[in-house]
Amino acid sequence: MFQGNKTMVTLVVNEFVILGFNEPLGFRLPIFILLTGIYSATLTGNMMLILLVLFNHQLHCPMYFLLSHLSMSDILISTNIAPNTLQLLLAGKHVMSSISCMAQLYFFGASAVIECCLLTVMSYDRYVAICRPLHYASIMTMTLSLYLVIGSWLAGVVVSLINICLVLQLSFCGHNVIDHFFCDLAPLLDLSCSDISFVQVAVSMVAIVIGLFELIFIIITYIAIFTAIFRISTSKGRQKAFSTCSNHLSVVCTYYGTLIALYVAPSRGYSLHLNKILSLLNTLVTPLFNPIIYSLRNQEIKAAFKKLCFNGQSSNSCGHIRY
């Protein structure tokens, strides 16, 4: 394209080069084996939780229905990131088409929003179970749980679709190297030759409305939960009440802890490798914590697993509290 005596050449980017971790060659195989084990354990553990809730009628209640969808979200985010990451470790770098990059970015954003929404809904479920135990069955019905789950998935689909439509309006000219192990939004925006301010504002608004609002809601519900627990007269009652929310609280702290650390940590200069490590924890390691925490610390899940394996008996308390 010619303008007067000047020539401007615009190269349209149709593919992106994902650099990965820039690890020495000797470390690739151990990291590959480690991440393969983590991904396999994530799929196995979350699928086991889903199957236990699906086929054990004693777990057909809101708490475990929500948990099964949290496992689905964990499977989605892991499967979206892990296979390309493993291929990247074997090849040293990975060339991804622009369509594949946008698809990965879309599903990453959708799964993140879904995860946040489900954790928020689960905190409300725990609030009702502990603060209003006598009304739990009438408030947290399976119908309400179904609507909340559908709303969570729709929020992820719609919000991520809006963001990806904004990204698709950008132009990428010439530079196509992403110094990350997946097609993340921040390094992708750095490659754009368009004005990215509108996209940054829109994404920031989504982060505030979805992430910050829901985190504040979770904090408020747990303040109410702890207040109610401290009012219980017996230590046994307090311990029983706390045990019903400790699993969810552990998952919330793990997930939001990595998100906050990833958001606060600078993404340039000396902290670039730290940013990648935090992203790795958020996308591949954190989804494994959900089945581990609920399998090791939840007696009803343990009982359901023993019943499945040994045809034993399990209780049907379904997560609500009786003091």
Give CA torsion, residues 310, 315, 317, 321, to 10 deg.
Answer: -120
Within its chain, how far is the Cα of 55 from the centroid? Answer: 25
Is there a domain that residue 320 lies in?
no
What is the C-alpha to C-alpha distance for residues 255 and 112, in angstroms, rounded to an integer?
10
The residues, any chain, with a CB within 8 Å of residue 216's CB and separated by 6 or more, are none
Is there a domain that residue 299 lies in?
yes
What does the pLDDT look like over 268-300, one tens digit per residue? 444 567 778 888 888 888 898 888 887 766 667
20 SS3 class: coil
Q: Is the pLDDT at 312 greater than 80, yes or no?
A: no
How much is the pLDDT for 12?
Answer: 60
What does the pLDDT look like over 53-68, one tens digit per residue? 888 887 888 988 999 9
Q: Is the pLDDT at 314 greater than 80, yes or no?
A: no
The residues, any chain, with a CB within 8 Å of residue 182's CB and separated by 6 or more, are 18, 81, 84, 85, 104, 108, 279, 283
Which CA distances in Å does 110 have to 134, 192, 210, 274, 279?
Answer: 35, 22, 12, 24, 16
How much is the pLDDT for 46?
Answer: 93
How much is the pLDDT for 20?
Answer: 80
How much is the pLDDT for 80?
Answer: 94
Are the C-beta atoms of residues 89 and 20 closer than 8 Å to each other? Answer: yes
* Count of all residues that appear for the chain in the document: 323
Backbone angles phi, psi at 17, to 5 degrees: -100, 115
The residues, any chain, with a CB within 8 Å of residue 130's CB and separated by 6 or more, are 225, 228, 229, 241, 244, 245, 321
What is the C-alpha to C-alpha distance for residues 167 and 27, in angstroms, rounded to an integer?
35
Q: Is the pLDDT at 73 greater than 90, yes or no?
A: yes
User: b or e along 93-125 (b: 16 or more beta carbons within 10 Å of the residue's beta carbon)?
Assistant: ebebebeebbebbbbbbbbbbbbbbbbbbbbbb
Q: How confident is the model at residue 83 (pLDDT cuts 50, 70, 90)?
A: very high
Is there a domain that residue 119 lies in?
yes
Look at the chain and report how many structural domains it folds into: 1
Is there a domain that residue 1 lies in?
no
Is there a domain that residue 292 lies in?
yes
In one letter, which amino acid is 236? K
Q: Is the pLDDT at 323 greater than 80, yes or no?
A: no
Of the ranges 56-60, 184-188, 253-257, 311-315, which one carries the lowest mean pLDDT score? Answer: 311-315
How much is the pLDDT for 240?
Answer: 79
Backbone angles phi, psi at 279, to 5 degrees: -65, -40
What is the C-alpha to C-alpha distance for residues 207 and 214, in angstroms, rounded to an integer?
10
How much is the pLDDT for 308?
Answer: 66
pTM metric for this prediction? 0.86
Q: How confident is the model at residue 3 (pLDDT cuts 50, 70, 90)?
A: very low
Question: For the chain, how many helices (H) and strands (E)?
Answer: 12, 5
Range of the domain at 304: 14-310
Which CA distances in Å does 124 have to 95, 127, 206, 214, 249?
Answer: 43, 5, 21, 11, 12
Of the ranges 80-84, 210-214, 303-307, which one carries the lowest mean pLDDT score? Answer: 303-307
What does the pLDDT look like over 205-264, one tens digit per residue? 877 778 888 889 999 999 999 998 888 888 887 887 787 788 888 888 888 888 877 765
Q: How confident is the model at residue 318 (pLDDT cuts 50, 70, 90)?
A: low
What does the pLDDT look like over 94-148, one tens digit per residue? 888 889 999 999 999 999 999 999 999 999 999 999 998 889 999 999 999 999 9
Is there a domain that residue 318 lies in?
no
What does the pLDDT look like over 8-44, one tens digit per residue? 334 466 888 888 877 666 678 888 899 999 999 999 9
Of the ranges 9-23, 66-80, 154-168, which one carries the lowest mean pLDDT score? Answer: 9-23
Handedness of CA 299, 303, 305, 306 (dihedral sign): positive
Is there a domain that residue 198 lies in?
yes
Are the C-beta atoms of residues 114 and 58 closer than 8 Å to each other? Answer: no
In one letter, which amino acid is 49? L
In one letter, which amino acid is 308? L
Are the C-beta atoms of residues 312 and 304 closer than 8 Å to each other? Answer: no
Is there a domain that residue 34 lies in?
yes
Q: Could you give the strand order of the β-sheet that contains 94-97, starting from the edge strand earlier in sequence?
A: 94-97, 15-18, 177-178
CATH assignment of the domain containing 142:
1.20.1070.10
